[in-house]
Chain A
């Protein structure tokens, strides 16, 4: 129960950080996505099942509080949790650089899903501009923050293993 509470607390704190403190460092309205880093780290460390689960919880939290299209973040995070969890089977899970490197394709995946959904919802969006001017600054912020997030997730994972 305590472990679940710590995971929940971590998720909420990361989301709160993402939507408050990190918005001071934004590029064209885009700032780092800590929930995405959390999902990628969890998916790499604990596989696709946990990836999907954390994707669902984090996505629901974001969808409920952000006021964006409900389910969009949930679907995207679940998919990313599933995909990166599946990939983790063939990789050495304890490698620290893994989530740092994985943060860029994860963000690309997230952008692609969001653009696809917006396209399906018939919403006009300048996808080219988004990829050229908004993706790379956000990706840099993701890379910078990926390691600290991964380190916290690793510590909590170790703690959870000990108190299972």
Chain B
């Protein structure tokens, strides 16, 4: 009995020692493996070969389940997603509209800026149309610039296309502009064509609100359809040379002595959004003289031509001098003129006198 107990005790001690050995071995293995001093490549590969088929199978099941889960989630969220997409489409449409609006405004402002660069004789203040009152009896717009921006009454308002009207009432930060189309408006104008230059007055026509009339034109004056009409500068409100429009019809007045032209304005008043106010104007500097256009293939240098012309004139003068000298010699040989007489000017008068 005692022997058996001793044997069991001995077996237990052996087991405990073996256990401690295993624990310590594994403990040490962790540190050796961490420092790459312990590797089991063959065992690794064997274990992986055993586990891999199961892993592959479960992985496939997992991916299928994930796919099903995704599909179910997608279907369940489809309605909500659809709703969100609709909202997004609405939002994007609104943004698109705003972007188009900005693009349009950008284009208009670019055009206006281009005009500002060209019209260097004018100091311009850009403004946006913020209100509009249009009836048969009046055509007035409200712009977002006022006296604080240097705007005053009777200043001309233009776009890059031409004349719009004039400031009829300047407020602090907004102004009313009477359009060219207003029946109360009258603008001193000229026919731009150099052969014509007929003066007249463009005023709004209450019967035809979109087409003002150019009146006070003498019946026999040279005004034709398609003639461009520009401001004459008479009256002091509108600077000279701003395009008003073109003549589309010419009619005789009922009284018979005068005629009038129907004008198609160069500015589209239905699409008027941005304008410029001429806050100061000065005489435009003279443009540098340009050589006249030349026929293609026969172009010549104007400076070279001028030099050649000068040289030719000099040659002519020299030739004339030579002729005069020869004549003088002949006269001397014939005894009409003493040889030692001072050299005379053989102008036409002297020559006649000499022959006499």
Also in contact, A21 and B59, with CB within 8 A (given A65-B47, A75-B23):
yes
Among residues of A, the one whose C-beta sits closest to the C-beta of B15 is: A49
Among residues of A, the one whose C-beta sits closest to the C-beta of B47 is: A64
- Compute how far the CA of A152 lies from the CA of B48 in the bound complex, rounded to whole angstroms: 24
The answer, yes or no, to whether A71 is at the interface (CB within 8 Å) is yes
**Shortest Cβ distance from B14 into chain A, in angstroms?**
13
**Shortest Cβ distance from A81 into chain B, in angstroms?**
11
The answer, yes or no, to whether B22 is at the interface (CB within 8 Å) is yes
- Compute how far the CA of A81 lies from the CA of B29 in the bound complex, rounded to whole angstroms: 19
Q: Which residues of B contact A71 (CB under 8 A)?
A: 26-30, 33
Partner of B58, one of A21, A60, A61, A69: A21
Among residues of B, the one whose C-beta sits closest to the C-beta of A70 is: B33
- Compute how far the CA of A151 lies from the CA of B74 in the bound complex, rounded to whole angstroms: 35
Contact call B19/A52, Cβ cutoff below 8 A: yes
The answer, yes or no, to whether A145 is at the interface (CB within 8 Å) is no
Contact call A24/B29, Cβ cutoff below 8 A: no
The answer, yes or no, to whether B55 is at the interface (CB within 8 Å) is yes
Partner of B22, one of A13, A15, A23, A78: A78
**Shortest Cβ distance from A22 into chain B, in angstroms?**
8
Contact call A74/B26, Cβ cutoff below 8 A: yes
**Shortest Cβ distance from B262 into chain A, in angstroms?**
81
Interface residue count on the B side (C-beta < 8 Å): 31
Contact call A64/B43, Cβ cutoff below 8 A: yes
The answer, yes or no, to whether B303 is at the interface (CB within 8 Å) is no
User: Contact string, A74-116, partner B, CB cutoff 8 A, digits 1/0?
Assistant: 1100110000000000000000000000000000000000000
Contact call A20/B62, Cβ cutoff below 8 A: yes
- Compute how far the CA of A74 lies from the CA of B65 in the bound complex, rounded to whole angstroms: 31
- Compute how far the CA of A59 lies from the CA of B22 in the bound complex, rounded to whole angstroms: 13
Leading 4 A-B pairs by shortest Cβ distance:
A16-B54, A70-B33, A71-B29, A64-B47
A residues in contact (CB < 8 Å) with B: 12-13, 15-17, 19-21, 23-24, 52, 56, 59-61, 64-65, 69-72, 74-75, 78-79, 117, 120-121
Q: What would be 17 A-B contacts, judged by CB atoms less than 8 Å apart?
A: A13-B54, A16-B58, A17-B58, A20-B56, A20-B61, A20-B62, A21-B59, A21-B65, A23-B62, A61-B47, A64-B46, A72-B30, A74-B26, A74-B29, A78-B22, A120-B31, A121-B30
